[in-house]
Structure 1
């Protein structure tokens, strides 16, 4: 167990579970994760290994006895008949039979219909009337010779969700964790290993939770296949409902005018539309119109009456093309059906989660640590929907640009409120933490607004920026705007379509002014070519297209001696980064040239033998290519700064050293493994200084 696992078990004893246990008990039971974690929470909410082992067996036995597999429905029906009654775990829905004036339940896997259920149960659990709910039920069988009388009866029914949550204790206990620890707790709670994600990537994953904590929040996520877009909405909460985008109808979603029955928005906190993208889909115009009205006004019409609801919408779908293709040829909403590829609909979306930044799911991304039992966290998030933290950033002294419209401002405020409720339910966010979240909230809305401008030219240009408490202006850009400026700003596109779009470095802005980033256009409106000059750059997390050649190449060119000071060349991936830097040196030099490269690093207390093995292999590998590579430990133990110094007089200060890339798959067929430009980076900063040659060596 990690220190974080110990801490969460101590502070939230009985409300956390080890996340890898879900796989251990699931077997071939096709049930949502929150159902399994509900059972695990009854028997395995501990860090005692013996109790966990016993609990796992208990849960497996409960599933074996009471979970109904579709292919065993007849066997379970027989069991109920012979015993007279039996407890089952199944998905249950209820409808009113107007001919008999009685409620009748349907057990999905058990394949029985017209099961008598009393009105008191329906009053206690009205969601049963809208859609299927996973329940633990006692079902009895008593045959009657009277025609039309069903032998099946529900004796008792309990939806699978936790009860008795102490919200105030939850808020106060949150304060026992640092912000980074709390973010990692939430990441582990939704099943991911936080060590595999950067800070921005974690916050993007957690954006998927905002619809659960914020009323009437409209989120869209479009991106490549296999990134787990629908997982949160299908597995995480008993208060969310995932439906196929092709199954949406006005009666199912809003109201059935023939019987007055309210649809999904009246009973669920979140309605998520899976497979929402697809240009060939043909949704009903009436559905689109009522959805637009609801998303804007939180209400819908029922005949002549108007009704309100609080359900948030989440739209998830796959993109057919990569980001530069979409920016060059259409827009980032290109895959929406034509009826939804409409400026009025898109303008009602509060945030666009960039699915292309989300990792494709692979085994090492999943957590084996402890996190909240998901239905416990779901109850907390549901309670927090009552809070409104949308103006906390204003109280902290931040101000949005006056150019930002009311609709844009509302969207930003709702995203901010959602993030603050997730991360700081009891307050206490620092100025820097508020600024980071505000930047992401504005970016998420700017992504929507910038595409609207492409779709409908009548939308005005908006300068998305905010003022810090000091009065300093902070301009907000989207990551794809920084990465593909030629296509993002269409007036920059060259007539020659064959020209590659590149991430370019502008180092003209030095410390003391706003930091430049890769792909940032200069005042002339065009990106500048790389040149070895003094300056400072800040590179955003998750940006792609950044390579050692672009950020180091011009500054090390022509050097015959290079000294690298980096105390963290210890692990395999760090040694790999060093080797890739040396590959750059080899590519730039002439075959007959001889270059000396020295590394000053620090020993790895965990496994110094393996570290020595890595570095010695690099020595041998480079010797045949005209590179005299040597390394040594900083014996004085004073190596903290990270930098590269050349005998041509350049010093490159590195806040992260060479370790700028995020984790990526180790497959031999992974493009990220073969090309640096396909890797997402961590946020990092570089400073280029010109020294007197005698200062360097």
Structure 2
């Protein structure tokens, strides 16, 4: 275990589990993660390896004996009959048989129906009436000659979810972690390795949890396939349900006026719509109207009666086009079904998660570290739903008066959710509070800016806030910084078919898109540039090309050219120099770095390989280890009089698939997500 895992086990004994164990026990059991972790939490919530291995075998044995596979349902039914009573793990739903005036259960995998359930069980677990609940249940078999009576009897039933927890102990343990440690614990809890994500990417992942901790929170995430958009809503919590966007009806979601039966919003904390995107999808307009009313007012009608509910609504779907295409030709909501492509519906969304900033999930991203048993964290988040943290920035910051009430509500609910997740007991610094406030404003701004493109009657809004001393701070979205020309187009310009007349310019945080990189390289000039985390379109060509052009000698000082990916960055820098020098010229590139005490031989071998590969290329590569062992600054100096100061050196890219020869992010830097970094260009002499 690393230091964080040791700390996690000490602070939350018996409440955390090693996250790679789920794969170890799952086999071919098609069950949600929270079901498996519920069992792992009973037997493997420890750091003792022997106990873990014993617990794994116990959980496997429980699954082998009691989890019902559909193709083995006949065998399990036989076991129930022969033994008279048998324990099963299955998804159980209950319906009222009004002819017999009795509740009857149906077992999804076991394949039995009309199992009589007493009304007390239904009252204790009302979710059984809607969509079903994973349970551990004792099923009995008692044959009778009366064909009208089912031989199946439900003995005991226990939903798979935590029965109790100590919230005060949770708050006390939270104080033992720094903010970064706590974020990493939460990222590991949802199954990911925090080392594979930057700070912004981690916060975006955690934004997906806000619907579990905030009542009536309306969230949308659209982005490429395979980024794990729906995973949390199907696997993370017994209080959320994921349904296909095409399966939604008014009776299923809200109320059946004929039977009076409440729909999903009456029983679940979170209702998520999977595969929500699709322009041509058929949608019932009456459903959209009821949805809009519920999202705005938290109520819906059952005949003459008006009912309230607390379920948060989440909409996740895939986009077909990349961000610059959508910004140039349509908008970021282009994939919504036609009847949902409606300004009144969109305006009720509190935040838009930029799904295109989330990497496609790869095997290396999953964690083998310790995280909360997800059921425990799910109960903590549910407990926090009754609290309101939306005012916790108001002593430090105030929103612009230009921000409307609906925009303000969206910002406040997102901020409240993030504060509950990260700082449930308070204690956020001014900088941490500001970071969450900016992210909350950005989430709502993304909704409103696109809404203004769709409906020209919406006025421009100044999404800014004021710090102490009335210092005004404007908030922009990352895609606004990357593609300013396309982002700020309004619907009127699109309708009139106005052509783009302005080229993208390298200015501030913005960089040219990959397709224009070659044609718009800027002239070399002094200045300072700041790049945001997850920004794309960044490359060594754009950063260094104009400054190394014509140089005969270049010295790179970077103490962190040690690991393989760092040496690869060095090789790509050399490629940039080769591309920008004249064929007849030669360039001397000299590296000053620090020795890797752990893998010095491998580091030396890699640098010698680069030296050899440069032979005959017009580049003479040399290197040395700093003898003082004190270098920290990272910079590039050329004999053309330029010094480029790099706060991260060449290490500006987030993790990407380096072994996939067919990945564009592997072949072209412009397709990689950047880390947050700064560059300063200075003239010497």
TM-score, normalised via structure 2 length: 0.96
Tell me what 1:578 maps to: 570
> 2:81 aligned with 1:81, yes or no?
yes
Match of 1:512 in 2: none
Distance 1:668 1:131 in 2: 44
Question: Which residue of structure 2 lines up, in the alignment, with residue 399 of structure 1?
Answer: 398
Shift of 1:497: 7.2
- The reply on whether 1:688 has 2:648 as its aligned counterpart is no
Show the 5 A alignment for 1:151-550.
151-395=151-395, 397-490=396-489, 504-506=505-507, 516-519=508-511, 530-550=522-542
Distance in 2 (CA, whole Å) between partners of 1:557 and 1:495 is 40
1:34 aligns with 34
- Please give the alpha-carbon distance, in whole angstroms, between the structure 1 residues aligned to 2:211 and 2:265: 13
CA–CA separation in structure 2 for the residues paired with 1:661 and 1:240: 35
Deviation at 1:146, TM superposition (A): 2.2
Q: Which residue pairs with 1:671 in the alignment?
A: 664
Matched, 1:594 2:568: no
Q: Distance in 1 between matches of 2:360 and 2:237?
A: 22
Taking the aligned partners of 1:203 and 1:161, their CA distance within structure 2 comes to 26
Q: Which residue number in structure 2 is paired with residue 70 of structure 1?
A: 70
Q: Displacement, 1:473?
A: 2.0
1:469 CA drift (Å): 2.3
Distance 2:119 2:54 in 1: 38
**What is the match of residue 516 of structure 2?**
none
Task: Please name the residue that 1:510 is paired with.
Answer: none
2:554 aligns with one of 562, 577, 585: 562
SS of 1:640's equivalent?
A: coil
1:498 deviation in Å?
A: 10
SS of the aligned residue for 2:219 comes to strand
1:627 match: 619
Q: Deviations over 1:154-195 (max 9, x none)?
A: 110000001221111101111111111111101110000111
Q: Displacement of 1:148 after TM fit?
A: 1.1
Q: Tell me how far apart the structure 1 counterparts of residues 616 and 400 of structure 2 sit (CA, whole Å).
A: 58
SS at match of 1:112: coil
- Measured after TM superposition, the shift of residue 520 of structure 1 is 10
CA positional deviation for 1:500: 11
CA distance in 1, matches of 2:449, 2:498: 24
SS at match of 1:597: strand
CA contact (8 A) 2:554 2:637 kept: yes
CA distance in 2, matches of 1:305, 1:479: 45
Who is 2:640 aligned against? 648
Structure 1: state its 5+ residue gaps. 507-515, 522-526, 693-697
TM-score by length of 1: 0.95
C-alpha contact 1:390 1:417 (8 A) present in aligned 2: yes
8 Å Cα contact 1:541/1:682 also seen in 2: yes
- Note the C-alpha offset of 1:580: 0.8
- Distance (whole Å) between structure 2 residues aligned to residue 652 and residue 415 of structure 1: 39
Where 2:72 maps in the other structure, the secondary structure is helix
Deviates more, 1:404-413 or 1:460-469: 460-469
Aligned match of 1:612: 604
* Separation in 1, partners of 2:405, 2:287: 26
Partner of 1:524: none
1:471 Cα deviation from its structure 2 partner: 2.7
Structure 2, unpaired ranges of 5+: 514-518
Output the CA distance in 2 between the equivalents of 1:469 and 1:267.
Answer: 43
Alpha-carbon separation, structure 1, partners of 2:271 and 2:509: 38
Aligned 8 A contact 1:466 1:474 in 2:
yes
Contact persistence 2:225–2:318 (CA under 8 A): yes
1:505–1:551 contact (8 Å) kept in structure 2: no
CA distance in 2, matches of 1:438, 1:270: 23
Contact 1:93 1:128 (C-alpha < 8 Å) held by counterparts:
yes
Q: What does residue 513 of structure 1 align with?
A: none
State the distance in 2 between where 1:311 and 1:490 align.
35
CA distance in 2 between counterparts of 1:366 and 1:166 reads 29
Counterpart CA distance in 1 for 2:682 and 2:414 is 40
Cα displacement (A) at 1:472: 2.2
Return the alpha-carbon distance in structure 2 between the equivalents of residues 690 and 95 of structure 1: 77
Structure 2 residue aligned with 1:110: 110
Which residue number in structure 2 is paired with residue 509 of structure 1? none
Instruction: Map Cα deviations across residues 225-260 of structure 1 (whole Å, 9 max, x no partner).
Output: 111111100000000000111111111111111122
* SS at 1:394 equivalent: coil
Counterparts of 1:26 and 1:544 in 2: how far apart (Å)? 37
Tell me the matched-pair count: 676
Partner residue, 2:99: 99
